[in-house]
Structure 1
Amino acid sequence: MKLVKYNQLEPNYPTTFSNMLDRFFNDSIGQNVKQFTPAVDISEDENHYEIHVSVPGMKKSDFNLEVIDGRLTISGERKMEEKTEGRNFHSLETHYGSFKRSFYLPENVKEDGIAASYEDGLLKVNLPKEEKKVNKSKIEVK
C-alpha cells in the first residue's frame, strides 16, 4: 500500500479554466496569504517510510503532528518577524502563515513507533513498518 496525499484545504489542480484564472490573479495580487503548502518528499525502504517536510525558519515547537484513524496530520505556522520598522521590502517570496498536510498511512505502519525530528529546515517523520506476520499452520491429512 502506498502513502496517499490527503489535503482537504486545497485541491492540487484547479478544476476549470475559470478557477485557474481566479487562483492565478488572487495569488499574484499580493494579498496577505495566511496559508502555504510546504514541499514534501516521501521515501520507503524495507524497514520504514520517511516523510521530509521542507519548512525553513521554524522552531520545533511550531509543529503539531497527530495520527487519527490511520491518517497522519502535520501542521504548523511560520510567523513573520515583527520587527519591520525602518525596512522597505522590495521582494518578499517567503511564505508565511499556517499549513496543514495529511497523509493516509499504510496498514503496516507501527503507529506507536512514529518519531519526528527537525534540523536545518527539514522536518523528518520516521514511520516504522511492522514486521510481517507469517501465518503458518500444518494441516493434518485424515
Structure 2
Amino acid sequence: METLKRLPMINNSWPMLLNNLFNRDSFNEGNLNFFDQNNAVIPAVNIKETTESFAIELLAPGMTKADFKVEVDKNQLTISAQKQSQSETDLDNYHRKEFSFESLRRTFTLPENIVDVDKINAQYTEGILYLTIPKKEEALPKPAKLIEIS
C-alpha cells in the first residue's frame, strides 16, 4: 500500500494549500500520471500473462471501434484513439456551436522474440479495448522431457 504525503498545517496556510492543490506536480505524486507530454489521456490498463499469451484491457469509455489505432513498430505497441464531436443549436435568435476533442495514447514495449505480432487480436466492447498478444511457438514452455539412461 502506498503512503500519501500530507502537508503540515500552518496558520493562514490556505493560499499555500490552494497553490499546491492546483499545481500539476501535486496530481502526479503517487505515480498518478493521467496525461502524456501532448496532453493525451493515459488510460488505465490491466495486463495479464498466461503461458500462451499476454492480454491487455484498456479502459476507454465513450469511444467507438473506428476511433482506435493500434500499431506495432519493431517491439513497440502503441494504442491511440481520437474522437471529435460537434453540435449546433439554434434557439430564439441564439446560436451556439460546441465541440470537443478527446485523445488517448498508451505505448508498451513488447518482449523481443517472444510475441507473435502478426496474430495480435483486438476487440472493443462496452468501453474496454481487449488485446490478445499470442506468444511465438518457440517461446511457449516445453513439457519436461524424460531422458533414458542407457
Runs of 4+ in 1 over 3 A off after TM superposition: 18-22, 83-86
Counterpart amino acid of 1:78?
Answer: K
1:121 alignment partner in structure 2: 127
1:51 alignment partner in structure 2: 56
Q: Is the 8 A contact 1:114 1:125 kept in 2?
A: yes
Q: 2: CA distance between counterparts of 1:62 and 1:73?
A: 14
Q: 1:104 to 1:34 in 2, by over 3 A?
A: closer
Aligned counterparts, 1:10-49, within 5 A = 22-23=23-24, 35-49=40-54
1:74 aligns with 2:79: yes
Report the aligned-residue RMSD.
Answer: 3.2
Counterpart amino acid of 1:120?
Answer: E
**Deviation sequence 1:65-115 (CA, Å, 0-9, x none):** 1100110000011335x33759xxxxxxxx962111100001200011111
Q: Which has the higher contact order (CA 8 A, sep 6+)?
A: 1
TM-score by length of structure 2 reads 0.57
Deviation at 1:130, TM superposition (A): 0.8
Instruction: Give the secondary-structure state (helix, strand or coil) at the position aligned to 1:117.
Output: strand
Q: Is the 8 A contact 2:56 2:131 kept in 1?
A: yes
Instruction: Give the secondary-structure state (helix, strand or coil) at the position aligned to 1:132.
Output: helix
**Deviation sequence 1:37-91 (CA, Å, 0-9, x none):** 21111101111001111001111110001100110000011335x33759xxxxx
Q: 2: CA distance between counterparts of 1:128 and 1:19?
A: 45
- Runs of 5+ consecutive residues of structure 2 not aligned to the other structure: 1-18, 28-37, 91-99, 143-150
Instruction: Give the secondary-structure state (helix, strand or coil) at the position aligned to 1:79.
Output: strand
Give 1 or 2: higher strand fraction.
Answer: 2
Q: Is the 8 A contact 2:20 2:26 kept in 1?
A: no
Q: Is the 8 A contact 2:43 2:58 kept in 1?
A: yes
Counterpart amino acid of 2:51?
Answer: E
Deviation at 1:36, TM superposition (A): 1.4
Q: 1: CA distance between counterparts of 2:64 and 2:117?
A: 24
1:112 aligns with 2:118: yes
Q: Is the 8 A contact 2:57 2:131 kept in 1?
A: yes
